[in-house]
Amino acid sequence: MDLFAYKIIPVVVLQNPEDARPVGEALVAGGLPIAEVTFRTEAAAECVSIMSEIEGLTVGVGTVVALPQIELAVEAGAQFFVSPGLRPELIREARLAGKPILPGAVTPSEIMEALSLGITTVKFFPANLYGGVAGIKALAAPFTSMRFVPTGGISPANITEYLSLSCVAALGGSWMIPPALVAAGDFEGITKLCRQAVELAAAAV
């Protein structure tokens, strides 16, 4: 499983389980068949379970900050984990579950800790508050083996700038699944935004 094949990982926040299938199908139709469903809502686990049944869609769980979330996510069918920070116990638990994990790291010390744990790709979050492209460039200089997935403040306006960096594996973003379109049931609109994102990413690499 290559989490970075499409250069974009959609961050999906869902409040209602009934939106899970149409949102997942919209991602697949838009050529972006991967979703990081955040564990920020009560409906998250059920949404992961529903989306995991969609053919061709790779579904993971984001905002993983505690061990019980990993067990719950695995039971729901999650195929990968994303954490906003770096906790060795979460990495160990994910490995025991046989699933890849993308932990967050934004400082030299965190990156050194990640490398010591065998992690070579980290989430850089929130990217817009930790220096953006300039911040990643600065960290990549001494840590040449580390790759980054910037998330936070990513939009069509800066996709090209981020993906021009060879150390950027992919981008995390939620602009393709705006809450307003989900609430309106405009899943075709989500498909169009996904297609545009895929085109921008393809042109940038």
- Domain at 18, CATH number: 3.20.20.70
Please tell me the distance from the alpha carbon of residue 16 to that of residue 29, in angstroms, as a whole number.
21
Q: Is the residue at 114 inside a domain?
A: yes
Question: What is the model's pTM?
Answer: 0.96
Q: Is the residue at 50 inside a domain?
A: yes
ω into 126 cis (within 30 of 0) = yes
Q: Is the residue at 65 inside a domain?
A: yes
Q: Is the residue at 35 inside a domain?
A: yes
Q: Is the residue at 1 inside a domain?
A: no
Q: What angle do CA 170, 174, 178 make, to 5 degrees?
A: 155
Q: What is the pLDDT of residue 205?
A: 74
Q: Is the residue at 205 inside a domain?
A: no
Please tell me the distance from the alpha carbon of residue 196 to that of residue 189, in angstroms, as a whole number.
11
Containing domain of residue 101, as a range?
A: 8-200
Q: Which residues are catalytic?
A: 36, 123
Domain count, the chain: 1
Q: Is the residue at 63 inside a domain?
A: yes
Per-residue pLDDT of the chain (205 residues; tens, 9 = 90+): 789 999 999 999 999 999 999 999 999 999 999 999 999 999 999 999 999 999 999 999 999 999 999 999 999 999 999 999 999 999 999 999 999 999 999 999 999 999 999 999 999 999 999 999 999 999 999 999 999 999 999 999 999 999 999 999 999 999 999 999 999 999 999 999 999 999 999 998 7
Q: What is the pLDDT of residue 3?
A: 93
Please tell me the distance from the alpha carbon of residue 15 to that of residue 179, in angstroms, as a whole number.
9
Q: Is the residue at 2 inside a domain?
A: no
